[in-house]
Structure 1
Amino acid sequence: MQLDLTSGARRARISITPLIDVVFILLLFFMLSSSFMQWRQLDLPMPTAGSASDAPVVRIRLLNNAGAIEIGESRSRMGDTQWLKERVLDSSDAVFAVDVAEGVQMQAMIHLVDALKSAGATRVSLVGVLQ
């Protein structure tokens, strides 16, 4: 029996194509399963017994999901930050009571409370939300 010693041992080539496929599948999985939303804390103090104050109350009504708001007799949009800042500065010591019209989504209400806080309102209360 004669052995062929002239041909050297060939190394098996490892294809990286399946490895690249697995990496892209993992990348796709993690991109679809992760959330890119920013979570922030929204501070809404709950009233307690004996916590009534003599501060004036400014009622803000959220009319629809598009952000139409009404303060007293004047109407505007939530995106009009200058108008909202002026109303907050006019009543800086007041409690801003947010009233929501029927059918308005919770996210729109949260956007309004966030806009009020950004405009400088220090005391915000929710009124009539569960109607």
Structure 2
Amino acid sequence: MAVKLQGIKRGRLSMTSLIDVIFLLLLFFMLTSTFSKFGEVELMAAGQGAGAGERQMLFVSLNEDSLSLNGQPADLERIADLIKLQPQAGRGHLVLISPGEDASSQRLVDLLSQLRQVGNLQTLVLG
């Protein structure tokens, strides 16, 4: 007696669910990614004073709760206006910033963003 054994018949694999999963993963990663442009703050390390003689030097002392321009108390929101009122010599102003030990980096960034409003200004952050 001959026995006919049928092999296991495999059905077609449906790709529809795989495409749905890939689409959902793509959508998830697109929505969770950030496409924001980060702001830049230019810092220049203090070095040799090559062209410092041609600029009017100003000294800013930055602490967590106080700010002074050339030893006089100043307000962070008005620091740009105070520097604009200072007399210029040669090519503009050179602002030396001395952050105190208690000054946060956010406060330094806020100061640098305020000083960016002043034209012909070079800043040096002292360590």
Q: Same-fold call, TM > 0.5?
A: yes
**Structure 1: segments with no counterpart, 5+ residues:** 1-13
Q: Residue in 2 aligned with 1:7?
A: none
Aligned positions, number: 110
- 1:43-122 mapped onto 2 (5 Å cutoff): 44=44, 47-48=47-48, 50-53=50-53, 55-64=55-64, 68-71=66-69, 72-77=71-76, 80=77, 83-91=78-86, 92=88, 93-120=92-119, 122=121
- Measured in 1, the distance between the counterparts of 2:102 and 2:35 equals 27
Work out whether 1:27 is the aligned partner of 2:51: no
The aligned counterpart of 1:9 is: none
CA distance in 2 between partners of 1:51 and 1:70 (Å): 25
Provide Cα deviations, 1:42-100, integer angstroms capped at 9, x if missing partner: 26375336544164421112222x8x5322322313xx2xx223212122433211111
Alpha-carbon shift at residue 122 of structure 1 (Å) = 1.4
2:117 aligns to what SS in structure 1?
helix
Amino acid at match of 1:111: D
Change (3 A) 1:103 1:30: farther
Question: Normalising by the residue count of structure 2, what TM-score does the alignment of the two structures yield?
Answer: 0.59
Q: Is the 8 A contact 1:88 1:120 kept in 2?
A: no
Normalising by structure 1, what TM-score? 0.58
The separation in 1 between residues aligned to 2:124 and 2:49, in whole angstroms, is: 15
**CA RMSD of superposed structures (Å):** 3.4
Relative distance call for 1:96 and 1:30 in structure 2 (3 A) is same
Aligned-pair distance for 1:102? 0.8
> Aligned equivalents of 1:110 and 1:41: distance in 2?
7
Contact 2:41/2:109 (<8 A) preserved: no
Give structure 2 stretches of 5+ with no counterpart.
1-13
Higher relative contact order (CA closer than 8 Å, sequence separation 6+): 2
